[in-house]
Structure 1
Amino acid sequence: MFFNTINYLKSGNEVQRRAYQVIKKLNILNDLSRYTPTLCGTIPISIDVKGSDLDIILEVYDLKVLKDEVYSLYGNLDGFVLRELVVRSVPTIVSNFHFRGFEFELFAQPSPVQQQNAYRHMIIENNLLLKNPHIRSKIISLKEKGIKTEPAFAQVFELTGDPYDELLILGREIGIIN
């Protein structure tokens, strides 16, 4: 499955179909198209739980320009916040807001989306789910208990250490990512 478009959501489960409609209505992928917006997280790979958000990652090199754009486009929406952070030594902008029953999270870093950890984690997780379909219910059950996605995968696969790093190591070891 390719995640460079959201067309796969149209024929997905109920949450995926609703997400597709809401993303299209908000027009966010077109509005931010120059930043290669890419939907990541649990909804694309069908391990979402109640309250899961729509994570959209962006490739951006001028954070100030993006900040102004995001304020202009979404600053009037419920729950809007925008933060500048440093995530694993990388300058990052994170913005959250609500639209038509979904929370959106924009996550912007100065690197191609395919090289960002959110995308890489999703690709690894999707591959693990496809190769081990019996784990889907275990992952969802852990998530329903409040465990984040990467720690849930680490627990199921008995990975020790930082679950975010260990998932990337596993992905390299089994040839999912470089």
Structure 2
Amino acid sequence: MTARTAAALAAFARLARHPALRGTDPRLAGTFSLGLDVAGSDLDVVGRTANPERFARRLARAFGGRPGFRIRLRHLDGRPTVVARFREGGFPVEVFAQARPPGRQRAVRHLRVEARLLRVHGEPLRTCVRRLRRSGLKTEPAFARCLGVAGDPYAALLELERRTNAELARLSGKSGGVRRPAAL
């Protein structure tokens, strides 16, 4: 684990204990969890809230004075969703909360699929995704490109949840391994 990853995990641990996040079952999703972070990667904190409007007010009171604070309510998957952004411990943070358990939210589901893909494909996939992430590509599109998965990368990764590890291993079929991305 790098010093930067350790600092990010410590920042998440502080956030997870913060009274504003009490009762939300906060989870860290995204690149730090997978060891795929790059300069500028944010801490993706996913939580549950029964009342997004009240939670948004609570976040604004707790973190509204932090650098870069922004918050919005939107609908995602037909559910009211809170998305707040600010800085904590030197890291950009995105808090995302809906009225569903974190384990059923997209970010955590993507994380589980990406972790399985990394276990199945190993270092070649990790190297490919890191290279694309450093070039500015988001995590899900980087996985999709490295594995030759067509279509909307966010939806495609969710479709892979139901696949067995053997099926995941065959994703890059024609080349017999993880695809090398085109020149950047």
TM-score range, shorter chain: 0.7 to 0.9
Is this contact kept in 1: 2:47–2:97, CA < 8 A? yes
**Partners of 1:22 and 1:108 in 2: CA distance:** 18
1:88-110 per-position Cα deviation (integer Å, ceiling 9, x unaligned): 32211100001231001000111
Aligned to 1:29: 16
TM-score, L = length of structure 2: 0.83
1:124 pairs with 2:99: no
Of residues 9, 13, 30, the one that matches 1:41 is: 30
Aligned to 1:148: 138
1:58-104 per-position Cα deviation (integer Å, ceiling 9, x unaligned): 11111122012101111110010001111232211100001231001
Match of 2:36, SS state, is coil
**Unmatched runs of 5 consecutive residues or more in structure 2:** 166-184
**Partners of 2:4 and 2:69 in 1: CA distance:** 22
Once the two structures are TM-superposed, the CA of residue 145 in structure 1 deviates from its matched residue by 1.2
Is this contact kept in 2: 1:38–1:113, CA < 8 A? yes
Match of 2:32, SS state, is coil
Is this contact kept in 2: 1:15–1:43, CA < 8 A? no
Question: Which has the higher mean CA deviation after the structures are superposed, 97-106 or 114-123?
Answer: 97-106
Aligned to 1:3: none
Question: Which has the higher mean CA deviation after the structures are superposed, 37-46 or 153-162?
Answer: 153-162
Is this contact kept in 1: 2:12–2:28, CA < 8 A? no
Residue correspondence of structure 1 range 11-90 to structure 2 within 5 A: 12-24=1-13, 27-30=14-17, 31=19, 32-90=21-79
Once the two structures are TM-superposed, the CA of residue 174 in structure 1 deviates from its matched residue by 2.0
Percent identity, aligned pairs only, is 33
Letter in 2 for 1:70: L
Is this contact kept in 2: 1:40–1:54, CA < 8 A? yes
TM-score, L = length of structure 1: 0.86
**Unmatched runs of 5 consecutive residues or more in structure 1:** 1-11
Once the two structures are TM-superposed, the CA of residue 29 in structure 1 deviates from its matched residue by 0.8
**Partners of 2:52 and 2:77 in 1: CA distance:** 17
The count of residues paired between Structure 1 and Structure 2 equals 162
Once the two structures are TM-superposed, the CA of residue 19 in structure 1 deviates from its matched residue by 1.1
